[in-house]
Chain A
Amino acid sequence: MSGANRIAGAGRLTPAKTVRFTFDGEIYTALEGDTLASALVANGVHLMGRSFKYHRARGVLGAGAEEPNALMGIERDRARRQPNVRATVQEVFEGMKATSQNRWPSLAFDIGAVNNLMSPFFAAGFYYKTFMWPKAAWQKLYEPIIRGAAGLGVSPDEADTDHYASRYVHCDVLVIGGGVCGLSAALAAAKSGASVVICDEQAQMGGALAYENGVTLYDEAGFDWAGKTAAELAGMDNVRVLTRTTAFGYYVQNFVALSERVTDHLAEPDADLPRERLWQVRAKRVIIATGAIERHMVFANNDRPGIMLSSAARTFLNHYGVAVGTKVGVYTANDSAYETAFDLKRVGVSVEAIVDCRDNPGEGKLSTAADLGITVKTGHSVTNTKGARRITAMVVERNGGGGAKTIAVDALIMSAGWTPSVHMFSQSRGKVAWDADTQRFLPGDYAQDCVSIGACNGTEDLQASVDEAIAAGEFAAKAVGGKRAANLKIAASGGGGWSGGVAGSADGAGPDTTVKAFVDFQNDVTAKDIRLAVREGMHSIEHVKRFTTNGMASDQGKTSNIHGLAIAADALSREMPAVGLTTFRPPYTPVTFGSIVNHGRGQLFDPTRKTPMHGWAEEHGAVFEDVSQWKRAWYFPRIGEDMHAAVNRECKTVREAAGVFDASTLGKIEVVGPDAAAFLDLMYTNGWGKLKPGRCKYGIMLREDGFIYDDGVVARIAEDRFHVTTTTGGAPRVLHHMEDYLQTEFPHLDVWLTSTSEQWAVIAVQGPKAREIIEPLVEDIDLSNEAMPHMSALEGKICGVPTRLFRVSFTGEAGYEVNVPADFGRAVWEAIWERAEPLGACAYGTETMHVLRAEKGFIIVGQDTDGTVTPQDAGLSWAIAKSKPDYVGIRGLMRPDLVADDRKQLVGLKTKDANTVLEEGAQVVADPNQPIPMKMLGHVTSSYWSENCGRSIAMALVAGGRAKMGETLYVPMPDRTIEVEVTGTVFFDEKGERVNG
């Protein structure tokens, strides 16, 4: 048996196909196709959750995405625990485990419900008015309590083991919503030759047809027609049909994001299937067919389990075959609830009374009710309800009071009318318009190529809606160049209207009462809270919303926004649009981060760039560091070595024998053309005209404001060809910067720029034995000092492959940088290594490179400079060509503050105690005994232990530093003050003789 409330012969589920699941540890039986909500109601379970603030007992309100109450945790295993799942959306599967939320110790007995007793104190915004005294108690007492009460469900505490997928789609027409209108529009568009995507959040297409059992299309039952139409569409080559897929975000230029739930309804999903799939759709036209959402009645204690929307009760009955109670009361302000009552009565459920706050229900309702033997009390209101964990009775009074009667019920269905779902239209930046006749917000001015049809457009009659849908589909197809004319006609009959009803609080919960008439169920916002906000001066709906939190719960106000607005407008005696409508923002319903992130996790979070020699470094035990997207070998520890020992050894070895270093990550740009030198003259502070082919030079590049942007060695390969190198992280922006000037400021120059960063592998061989190492491998290049002195770059061959061989040094040693095509990088490296190792050389990493260059006072842009440093500050005035008429940065450098004499200048620092290594980033002061805040002169930019110098070395940017040579300054640390002497920046081989070998 799949639940005592299952009605034989009702609904569309198959009685034989049962599944078992647990809710709070109890085992229940459901039918295949049930939602968690329908299955629980079938089993007589209405208590499904607790509200956020007052911990009130709550049952299910709706049967779809609008659900504010029945939120649960669904758990497959500890890492796959999903909080806040709407039971009305979650399909049951065999073995599913569901747990209620926001209660302790149990759903039935929740200690937190004491808040309900305190609720008069906890009026909207009360926390802004208290918890301020004594001041110290806020952080220690009040705040922890408030924070401790946060939240509904429980976050997972293990990394998600599911995976997610992503698809991009371009289509002519996207149809959002698979109800009668969406299907009709999709069919019309598709038959007219357009490529169509249609999506719907439900497991099956049909929308309201799932409960509207009186509707026929082509003389066929509505839901059957929907199934057949969906199948027909799915069979067409130009159509993609997506169920369980919610269009959640409508962005600029018809970019719509959809989230598809792929496996959440499966008992044992195939491990290869993604849990969810994000569809990013760019549609030429969008057809919005999102229907309408029913509102609840706002009256005293309208939140007890068993009280729900009439559309929900009708869905449970007509689709799932479940009666929501045995003695059902009805409270309505429009005709929709009558149909539910009639359907219930027809299957034998007792309908105790239909309470209609109107005097005159729609045509035929009273007579049908009379025929079925249902009592209708027009001009009456439900003014209260009774029951603890489920409704037991409703109190009915005449409008305006009097004649109170208590009627025993075990369920109460209600309808205050329908709110058109203008969410997607509003997200598209369309402006909603107030329709005073029907008291609804409807689509007004469109901002994008889209159209709303059917209930979400305020269209009433079923045939009119279908005709509108077909016209929209055909128009959209035609607008995108569809050639065929579908001339589709669909005869439709049945179905109720969508207008009528009330917005705001009903009789008995009016202005002068302090009863709890809930507007926003999940956040426990009552009508009186909204009135309080207005009394306190909140006259914009945005203030009301934020002050009361109305509409800010996980349902985002799908049932509550219009009520809240109406109550505020009423309290202000203004029309609703004058108070405003809060903006609809993505997502329409909550979307998992996993779905949005999809593949972008772990190693796919950001590309990892590896050099051709990466594998060799790995095999030789390198430790890597991240430098922008690159993995660079940091140091090569031998067994038993820590970083410090490894770096000391590498530093010594390079200067005593030689070292081999992977410099492939350096940015490289080929600058070619008759005006190449003239162009570089503009891009760098240096002059390039006189540089001879085969020679190279260190260049500094500025931004227009005069600050150092990048640096690197530039080689002239031929008269019209330069090989430019940049910093590792700077390569893309330097090329962008050069292209910008070349294309837009200096387009008269005949120059081509090409990124060659990844075309060349670069092997630096540095140290006294560098030449000895490479000499036997090199062909066509004379390596003698005369033929190839320091700062040369010649083309030839190494190991039989072409090379651009640079004689350059970032270590101060004689050395080479061997550029070879990247594909040969590892082979050449290994050949060099084969020679280097027996000669006592080592492989070294970036840390040793840093130490060696610091020993020589060579700067690293981005470490010793920071975007506020000029060439003069960095001691690089020599690299500025004085006679050039122009270069980028020339004017910026002349600005008053850039020529001031108190600027921070790069100097060396030697600690008085040679063994003390300063911390990079430490601050330098003249007087360590001054009070805080101290006057700081600058900071340590680079600092290392130098095994070659036998002491620590450091560089620092110090205000007026170059005038302070030999002076003692101080570096105050938390535990001590370190004395330092200001020195030059060269610590090793001050005369620079070693580069000449």
Chain B
Amino acid sequence: MRRYSIFAVARETMRGHKGWPKQWTSPEPKKQYDVIIIGAGGHGLGTAFYLAKEHGITNIAVVEKGWLGGGNTGRNTTIIRSNYLYDESAGLYNHAMKMWDGLSQDLNYNVMYSARGVMMLAHNVHDVQGAKRHIHANRLNGVQNEWLTPEQAKEYCPPLNISQTARYPVMGAALQRCGGNARHDAVAWGYARAATDRGVDIIQNCAVTGIKRSANGAVEGVETTRGFIGAKKVGVVAAGHSSVLMEMAGVNMPLESYPLQALVSEPVKPIFPCVVMSNTVHAYISQSDKGELVIGAGTDQYTSYSQAGGLHILTHTLDAICEMFPIFSRMKMLRSWGGTVDVTPDRSPILAKTPVPGLYVNCGWGTGGFKATPGSAHVFAHTIANDAPHAINAPFNLDRFRTGRLIDEAAAAAVAH
């Protein structure tokens, strides 16, 4: 791999940037691979990369029905944080958090991880109790998270409205300083380039139409729009489409797929220094390096694969944004879009072996998978390589829905009493 650096850029500048090699190639699929990953998003490409880098498995195909990075990787609001409550979640997300710091260097691709801080607002006594519970648990788990008074929150994020006469006044906030965001496309591209460099075939425009199993039930490969591709191990990393793919192997999943929308404003000069989330009023906002306000909405209420949702969902989100940040009322929505997110009953992901030998699944990230990308890919690669989970993802199995040992972050956020 030709390394990227300021010197390489300078050299290419001298010759009109004619010498840059392809970041990834477009190979024809081979007949047989050691591992097939279905889905070329951040998690899937990352899995291929870590399989190659850490487990010496390089005969890998990543098959993608569209263009790499075109699913939820390229559609999310890029929030990165790890201040989850339960030990299992803290373990998984903090594993990812540690990997974000240094990912650009690992991949030799600037993913623009920006530790600008993620601030989660508390609007009532119940929110405060929840936030404090998180902060205390996080501290003892070695996860950054701290409490801010409304005044401190305002200092950290000047556009914030902390008027106590607001409909839902800010009573404080939990701040994770190492939280922030990253450039989503660069994550997919960085992994794609690094995986390609290690011999991985990324096969785009190749939709999986079936998962073939042998007489004894084990996986033999995948049927695709470009023919059959064989492999003894197949990892499904298909976000919103996990149910559809797992169904091809005869596995019914505890998943439902919902539309999730986001929007950006027109670009403006720097005005918003961090990421702010409010679960109570349902709004997520940051400002991109281009100057656009990046705003995440909630899901629509019905299941759908349409990658589109209703205007009233965006309206509700913008209501909340203008309530918390009244200065943004004149900002203009420039572009809105939708993705399809697969949601588990306990809102925690599944990163596990399946009842089908040789079939592995990484899914159920709901609205928050981007932040976990490096950590998820890393432990999922371990799971595929060893046919056994890493200690970090062992709790995120399918059996929890039988035993009841759920990792229920949503329930832990509880409901107003």
Contact = CB atoms under 8 A, between A and B. Distances in A.
A348 to B, nearest CB: 40
A371 interface: no
B403 A896 contact: yes
Contacts of B356: none
A346 interface: no
A974 B139 contact: yes
Contacts of A52: 267, 290
A146 interface: yes
A585 B70 CA distance: 15
B104 A138 contact: yes
B172 to A, nearest CB: 12
Contact of B288 (A81, A150, A536): A150
Contact of A143 (B108, B112, B290): B112
B336 A587 contact: yes
Contacts of B110: 127-132, 138
A131 B311 CA distance: 39
Interface stretch (A716-724, A726-734, A799-807): A726-734
Contacts of A590: 265-266, 332-334
Tell me the dominant secondary structure on chain A's binding face. Answer: loop
A153 B112 CA distance: 24
B215 interface: no
A540 B168 contact: no
A471 interface: no
A121 B411 contact: no
Contact of B267 (A152, A160, A535, A585): A152
Contacts of A936: 87, 137, 140-141
A833 interface: no
B141 A537 contact: no
Contact of A540 (B25, B159, B204, B332): B204
Interface string B314-333: 11001111110011111111
A148 interface: yes
A706 B404 contact: yes
Given A83-B266, A585-B337, A867-B411, A919 B132 contact: yes
Given A130-B5, A537-B22, A597-B318, A920 B132 contact: yes
A920 to B, nearest CB: 5
B332 A932 contact: no
Contacts of A537: 22-26
A605 B332 contact: no
Contacts of A730: 415, 417
Interface string A228-261: 0000000000000000000001011001010000
Given A155-B328, A535-B22, A536-B22, A593 B333 contact: yes
B31 interface: no
B317 to A, nearest CB: 9
Interface in A410-441: 429
B207 to A, nearest CB: 15
A898 interface: yes
Contact of A862 (B23, B91, B416): B416
Contacts of A746: none
Contacts of B186: 128
Nearest to A607: B167
A856 to B, nearest CB: 17
Given A251-B311, A280-B311, A862-B416, A155 B327 contact: yes
A960 interface: no
A139 B104 CA distance: 12
Given A127-B112, A597-B322, A868-B406, A532 B26 contact: no
B143 to A, nearest CB: 8
Interface stretch (B9-17, B223-231, B359-367, B377-385): B9-17
Nearest to B168: A626
Contacts of B169: 626
A135 interface: yes
| Residue among B87, B265, B413 with max Cβ neighbours from chain A (10 Å) | B265
B326 A160 contact: yes
A738 to B, nearest CB: 17
Given A590-B266, A862-B416, A920-B133, A155 B13 contact: no
Interface string B141-164: 110000000000000000101000
Interface string A133-156: 101001100010011101111111
B390 interface: no
Contacts of B387: none
B323 A605 contact: yes
Interface string A584-606: 01110011111011001111011
Contact of B404 (A80, A81, A628, A897): A897
Contact of B331 (A152, A592, A706, A867): A592
Nearest to B334: A590
A597 B319 contact: yes
Interface string A522-542: 000000100010011111101
Contact of A160 (B271, B306, B330, B414): B330
B134 A729 contact: no
Given A727-B417, A897-B403, A933-B87, A151 B332 contact: no
Contacts of A923: 133, 136-137, 140
Given A867-B411, A932-B141, A594 B330 contact: yes
A151 B414 contact: no
B38 to A, nearest CB: 18
Given A121-B9, A593-B330, A606 B167 contact: yes
A585 B18 CA distance: 34
B389 interface: no
A135 B102 contact: yes
A160 B130 contact: no
A862 B126 contact: yes
A138 B183 CA distance: 14
A328 interface: no
A255 B310 CA distance: 9
Contacts of A135: 102, 104-105
Nearest to B115: A139
| Residue among B114, B337, B404 with max Cβ neighbours from chain A (10 Å) | B404
Interface in A60-80: 80
A922 B268 contact: no
A552 B334 CA distance: 9
A22 to B, nearest CB: 20
A964 interface: no
B194 to A, nearest CB: 12
Given A539-B26, A593-B328, A729 B406 contact: no
A546 B185 contact: yes
| Residue among B13, B66, B287 with max Cβ neighbours from chain A (10 Å) | B13
Given A160-B327, A897-B400, 19 more contacts: A82-B330, A83-B331, A128-B109, A133-B5, A135-B105, A147-B270, A150-B268, A150-B289, A159-B329, A535-B20, A547-B185, A552-B335, A585-B335, A592-B333, A593-B332, A602-B323, A860-B417, A932-B140, A939-B136
The 7 A-B pairs with the shortest beta carbon distances in the complex, nearest first, are A867-B411, A151-B291, A921-B133, A921-B132, A862-B417, A150-B291, A160-B329
16 contacts: A150-B268, A150-B290, A153-B266, A153-B268, A155-B271, A156-B328, A556-B335, A591-B333, A592-B332, A605-B320, A628-B416, A865-B414, A867-B408, A867-B410, A919-B132, A939-B133
Interface of A: 52, 80-84, 120-121, 123, 126-133, 135, 138-139, 143, 146-148, 150-160, 162, 249, 251-252, 255, 257, 280, 429, 514, 528, 532, 535-540, 542-543, 546-547, 549, 552-554, 556, 585-587, 590-594, 596-597, 600-603, 605-606, 608, 625-628, 705-707, 727-730, 860-863, 865-868, 892, 895-898, 919-923, 925, 932-934, 936, 939, 972, 974
Interface of B: 4-6, 8-10, 12-13, 16-18, 20-26, 66-70, 74, 87, 90-91, 102, 104-105, 108-110, 112, 114-115, 123-126, 129-137, 139-142, 159, 161, 166-169, 183, 185-186, 189-190, 204, 265-271, 281, 287-291, 306, 308, 310-311, 314-315, 318-323, 326-337, 400, 402-406, 408, 410-417
